Structure 1
Amino acid sequence: MDFETVSAGDFGTALTGIGLNILVRDVPAQVAFLEDIFQMEAHRVSADFAIMTYHGQIMQLHGDHTYSQNPLLGLLPETPPRGAGAEFRLYHTDPDAAVERAKARGAHVLQEASEKPHGLRESYILCDNGYAWVASLPLAQFPKGDPS
C-alpha cells in the first residue's frame, strides 16, 4: 500500500489486527519526535493526521481537533500529563542511542537505559504529550558489562 496516495477509505478498510491511534496536540511536532528519537517513518503528515511506520507496524496520529465529534475528546485532560499509564514499547530501538537522541533534542528522559529482569535493556522517554515511549533491545545484544 502506498501510504502517500491511498484514500482514507482504502486505508481504513485495509487495517487489521490491533490498531494504535494516538491523540496529540501537535501532529508535526509528534512526528518529529518519533522520527528523531526512534527512527520511525512518517507518511501523509498534516496538522490533522499522520501515518507512522515502525518495523512494519502501523500507527496513526490524530490532532485533538479532529476528534470534535468523538466522545473520547471530552476525557482528555486540559493540561499535561495526558498519557499517564500508557507506554508504547519499541522493541527494535537501541535504548542508549534513543536516550542520546532524546537529550540532544531536549526531550524528557524519564529513565536512563538499564537492564531489566525480563531480559531487556530499556529506556523511558516522555514526549510533550506525556506518553511514555520505551526503547528496548534484548540483553543478549549487549556485551556483558558494556551496554553501549
Structure 2
Amino acid sequence: MDLETVTPEDFGASLRGFGLNILVRDVPAQAAFLAEVFGAVPHRVSGDFAIIAYHGHLIQLHADHTYGSHPLLGLVPETPPRGAGASLHMFDSDPDIAAARAEDAGGMILQAPTNKPHGLRECCILCENGYAWVASRPLTDNERTAT
C-alpha cells in the first residue's frame, strides 16, 4: 500500500490489530518531532492528519478539530500534558540519540537515558503536546553486567 496515495477509505479498511491515534494541536509539528527525534517516517502530512510509519507500525495523528463531534475531544485538556499516565514507547530508538535531538525538536527530557533493570536503556521525552515518548533499546551485554 502506498501511504502517500491510498484513499482514506482504503487505508481505514486495511487497519488491523492494535492502532494508535493521537490528538494534537499541530499535526505537521508533531510529525516533524517524531521524524527528527525517533527517525519515524511521516506520510500524508496535512493540517488535519498524518500517518507515521515506525518499524512496521503505523501511528495516526489527528488535529483536534478533526474530532469535532467525537466525545473524546471534550476530555482532552487545553494545556499539556494530554497523555498523563500513558507512555508511548518507541522501541528500536537509541535513547541517547533521541535525547540529544529532543530539545532542538521542541521536546523536554523528563528522564535522561538510563539503563533499566528490565533490560532496556530508556529515556522519556515530553513533546509539545504533552505526550510522554519513551525511546528504548535493549541493553548491550556490557550494560547488562554493569547493572
What range is the shorter-chain TM-score in?
over 0.9
3-state DSSP of counterpart to 1:112: strand
Q: Does residue 15 of structure 2 align to residue 15 of structure 1?
A: yes
Q: Does residue 141 of structure 2 align to residue 132 of structure 1?
A: no
3-state DSSP of counterpart to 1:98: helix
Where does 1:64-79 land on structure 2 (aligned, <5 Å)? 64-79=64-79
Deviations 1:21-71 (A, max 9, x none): 000010001011100000000000000000000001011000000000101
Q: Report % sequence identity.
A: 61
Q: Measure how far apart 1:79 and its partner are.
A: 1.8
- Residues 106 and 22 of structure 1: CA distance in aligned 2, closer, same or farther (over 3 Å): closer
Query: What residue in structure 2 maps to residue 32 of structure 1?
Result: 32
Letter in 2 for 1:132: A
CA separation in 1, counterparts of 2:114 and 2:82? 25
3-state DSSP of counterpart to 2:140: helix
Kindly indicate whether the alpha-carbon contact (under 8 Å) linking 2:22 and 2:60 is maintained by their aligned counterparts in 1: yes
Query: What residue in structure 2 maps to residue 100 of structure 1?
Result: 100
Q: Measure how far apart 1:106 and its partner are.
A: 4.4
Q: Measure how far apart 1:140 and its partner are.
A: 2.0
3-state DSSP of counterpart to 1:21: strand
Q: Which moved more, 1:132-141 or 1:26-35?
A: 132-141
Query: What residue in structure 2 maps to residue 121 of structure 1?
Result: 121
Q: What 5-or-longer segments of structure 1 have no aligned partner?
A: none
- Residues 144 and 126 of structure 1: CA distance in aligned 2, closer, same or farther (over 3 Å): same
Q: Measure how far apart 1:86 and its partner are.
A: 1.4
CA separation in 1, counterparts of 2:108 and 2:71? 30
Q: What 5-or-longer segments of structure 2 have no aligned partner?
A: none
CA separation in 2, counterparts of 1:144 and 1:13? 43
Q: Which moved more, 1:99-108 or 1:29-38?
A: 99-108
Kindly indicate whether the alpha-carbon contact (under 8 Å) linking 2:50 and 2:61 is maintained by their aligned counterparts in 1: yes
